[in-house]
Amino acid sequence: MVINMSDSLQQLQREPFHALTIEETIRKLGTDPGYGLKAEEAVNRIKKYGLNTISVGEVKFKALKLFLNQFRDVFVLMLVAAAVISFLLGEAVDAVTISSIVALVAVMGFVQGYRAEKALEALKILTAPVARVLRNGHVSNVSADQVTIGDVILLEEGDRIPADARLIECYSLRTDEASLTGESVPVEKTREPVKLETPVADRKNMVFTGTYVVRGRGKAVVTAVGMNTELGKIAGVMGKIKEEKTPLQKKLDNFASKLGKVIIGLCIIIFVFGLIDYGFSFKAVLNVFMAAVALAISAVPEALPAVVTITLALGAKELAKKNAVIRRLASAETLGSVTYVCADKTGTLTRGEMAVRKIYVNKKLLSLEKKESSLIEVVGDRRELEALKNLFLIGVLCSNVLTDGEILKGDPTEIALVEAAKKLKISKKEIDREYVRLSEIPFSSERKRMTTIHKEPEGRIVAYMKGAPEVVIEKCKYILTEGEVKELNKEEKKNLLQVNENLASEGLRVLAMAYKPLLNWKPSLKNEDMEKIEEGFVFVGMQGMLDPPRKEAVEAVKTCKRAGIKNVMVTGDHKLTAVAIAKELGILNQGDKVMTGKELDSLSDEELEKIVEEVKVYARVSPFHKLRIVEALKRKGHVVAVTGDGVNDAPALKRADIGVSMGIKGTDVSKEAADAVLLDDNYATLITALMWGRRIYDNIRKYIRFLISCNFDELLVIGLASLAKWPLPMLPVQILWINLVTDGPPAVSLAFDPPEKDVIERPPRNPEESIFHGMFLFMFISFISQSFGSLMLFMYGYFVLKSYETAVTMTFIQAALFELFVVWNCRSESCSVWRMGKKAFENKFFVVGTFASIALTIALPYIPILNSAFHCVKLTFTQFLITIATASTGLFLVLPELWIGKGSSRFSGYLQKLKNYLFL
């Protein structure tokens, strides 16, 4: 059966592709291993067989469900009941007013939640996996959900396999299938058919979606997508997976829960005293009940965790625009407290634009200028030219660069080798055709070398090796010099290592090249036997590549120093190369230590911990060394960010407080393990993200400072009024209005506030520090000031002016305006609004939201429909001025630390127990 558009998924699922030969598989799936699918055919198959997605339960965001969830809150339901009862009692105005406010609160909650969900959805799209497929004969990067049946996929170390597929090529390919089978040992793959009855875990000629390539490379043709893959079948019986809350959300949930219990208790007391004061008539009971419920809604910060989510999500969305994708919201909390950054050198601190600048061959050092398009005319000596040809040939053959017309795709180091070979008119495409690759032992950060085995045009089988000079030299027994193969003695090895050090000291990345004719080559050799081949090679020469530091990385290092963040370079390159680049970047200074992987191995964990803060450059290290460095820094109490791009970097990325993968050269494994992905692989982008992390955290603190500062004055005012047997100083609908206009646009818009001037100059915050740190005194004084002003105005209106309506109006307007004024002083921890200058008006959302709320509140007593709905009366000019003057104290309320002195407050001892109960 050859696939056609009438074939159903059920028919395809019945095909035992694991038991078929490669030729049968290709024929049945109607594809071409060298060309892939045509783009139009791929589109048709996606329409026919669906997107390559796996759904786990009902995870799709529903707008209607989110809106209805706003009415699940017990306090809102109480208000709805109160509105219904008011309507039945003939209080139509109160019923309509309460209903309108409840609806507005629900709409605001929905809008906030909707924005957060959309921001999170956008982030998920940015972090969606990508697959490399053959389409129209060219290698294309497509979203994994666009992979379809019959696609030819290319697999390399670190790739996440996008779909179930039958292998048609594999070179030392091993996959981690723990997510599917639970087997922790990587599975070695083959191209050969297996028996029909072979279970999934033993189908070594198949690769499966959701698993990873941990070694080698291969090519496979897709046999199943989406829910029809082996992983999809498992997912079909799974329930919905709930998203984990961030640590900050959990803390704030706990805080809101504790505070809610206190407030509900106080509201019950107020309700009881209200009944005693105002009687037990049905209307009195309803009014007191509504007042208690309104107070609870106003005081309980139930929206606090939700607003934190919105702030984090919107902050993460803005970071994505700056090429830093945050994969986990919890990471946005941690960004601002990073104290150490352990960064890879190549492509992150440097440009990643390799170019061969110096060559060592035939015991001579040659400079390769960028302007020279050909070396044939420059190098006159025939033997020297032949030696150069051998060196370049090994660099080209021992690489996995893909050619797409004139465009080269692959590792920057290997591209540099292929580009250098062009100067001797050596074409990668032609050489690959002439020298057929038979096998490959892939490069890894532990091996520090790569070997490929080829059949030369004359029929000879030869192994070619490239890698770190000290590793390759160790594997060589002979040397090619003056056209002759001679024995490589210890003295010559020492000289070669010195040449390597000289090149490395110039900041060059050096690779050595060698070859070995194979007399008894067998294609069926296992990986262990293959590695035995890597002995007794003939040394040919070295190529030194220049990868200059990024200019923006130099500035980023300076920014880190100002921000109290320490930079550490972690690289697999030679020590001298690393030192040269680190000095140019400003990472390595006088007195700083440099350590190699070999030296690291000689230290115990305790010994490393003692000196880890003194070392600024780690050279010739493996991913295991990187993990040890991270763990040592964490034991010293540091918050560590670490960059990585390889499969074996995953443990260090997971162990770090902030694991950062590279978006361009990073493997899928490293991206999955990371908390953040740099889309441009640029170190400066990481430092920008760290500064933004501080801004996000600052803005969350601004919201909390404002919310808690202004949530309790109505409780105290009405509580004291009940004890004094006064009438209610504020009515339920007025309390709801205050909650609506102050917890609404002005508060939420704080998430868009620009960073403070000192955000770069401040040292990193202590991650163990409570988010309420340093703000309790401000909140307490704000609460007392607002409550005092409300009580004074009520007493003035009720006892001096002898008008309850005027007293209630003045108290209500003052309370609302005080909050809209004090919010301006919640925007900085170092200065009041009067010292912010133009910066106070940079956040347009805040300015518009605040002024609109102020205008609406002032207008309430003077608009006939609204003053009736909110039980207000028109104020005289004098009464209006007194109200405004009292409320404006919020504008002059600055952080107590500025006028009392940090840590010297007399209140701290008295308030410590309450603080511990609520905040810790």
Q: Which residues are catalytic?
A: 344
**3-state DSSP assignment of residue 175:** strand
Q: Which residues pair with 213 in a beta bridge?
A: 175
**How far is residue 322's CA from residue 645's CA, in Å, rounded to a whole number?**
20
Q: State whether residue 297 is helix, strand or coil.
A: helix
CB 647, CB 674: distance < 8 Å: no
Find, among 225, 205, 230, 174, the residue nearest to 21 by Cα.
Answer: 205
Calpha distance 874→861 (Å, rounded): 5
Rounded distance between C-alpha atoms, residue 910 and residue 916, angstroms: 11
Residue with tokens 């039958």: 166
Q: Give 113-135 as a 3 state SS string.
A: HHHHHHHHHHHHHHCCCEEEEEE
Structure tokens at 731: 């009515």
Pick from 341, 404, 393, 394: nearest CA to 140: 404
Angle between the N-to-C axes of helices 907-919 and 247-278, in degrees from 0 to 180, rounded to the nearest 10:
110
Cβ atoms within 10 A of the Cβ of 141, count? Answer: 9
Nearest to 302 by CA among 255, 262, 245, 265: 255
Per the CB < 8 A criterion, the answer to whether 465 and 441 are in contact is no
Place of tokens 């960064």: 343
- 216: helix, coil or strand? strand
In angstroms, the CA 437 to CA 397 distance is 8
For residue 876, give the amino acid letter.
T
Q: How far apart are CA 793 and CA 645, in angstroms?
A: 64
Q: Which strand (E) or helix (H) includes residue 324?
A: strand 324-326
The 8-class DSSP code of residue 242 comes to P
**Token pair for residue 476?**
């060589």
DSSP 872: -
| Burial (CB count <10 Å: 0-12, 13-18, 19+), residue 553 | buried
Task: Give me 72's structure tokens.
Answer: 């699940």
Q: Which residues are within 8 A (CB) of 394 and not within 5 positions of it... i.e. 6 or more apart?
A: 464, 465, 466, 513, 514, 515, 540
Residue whose token pair is 């440099």: 594
CB under 8 Å to 405, separation ≥6 — which residues? none
- Amino acid, res. 80: V
Output the CA angle 96-97-103, nearest 5 degrees. 85
Closest CA to 349 of 565, 139, 132, 581: 581
Please report the beta strands in 63-163, taking only residues with DSSP state E, as ranges in sequence order. Answer: 130-135, 138-143, 152-156
Q: Which residue has the tokens 């019923």?
A: 95
Q: What are phi and psi of 450, to 5 degrees?
A: -140, 140
DSSP-assigned letters across all residues of 554-573: HHHHHHHHHTTPEEEEE-SS
Q: Tell me how crowded residue 754 is: count the other CB atoms within 10 A of its CB.
A: 12
* Interatomic CA distance for residues 709 and 713, integer angstroms: 9
Distances in Å between the alpha carbon of 403 and those of 142, 400, 408, 451, 505?
Answer: 18, 10, 5, 20, 33
- Give the residue among 808, 794, 786, 797 at the shortest CA–CA distance from 714: 786
Q: Give the C-alpha separation, 619 to 569, whole Å.
A: 8
Task: Report d(CA 884, CA 888) in Å as an integer.
Answer: 6
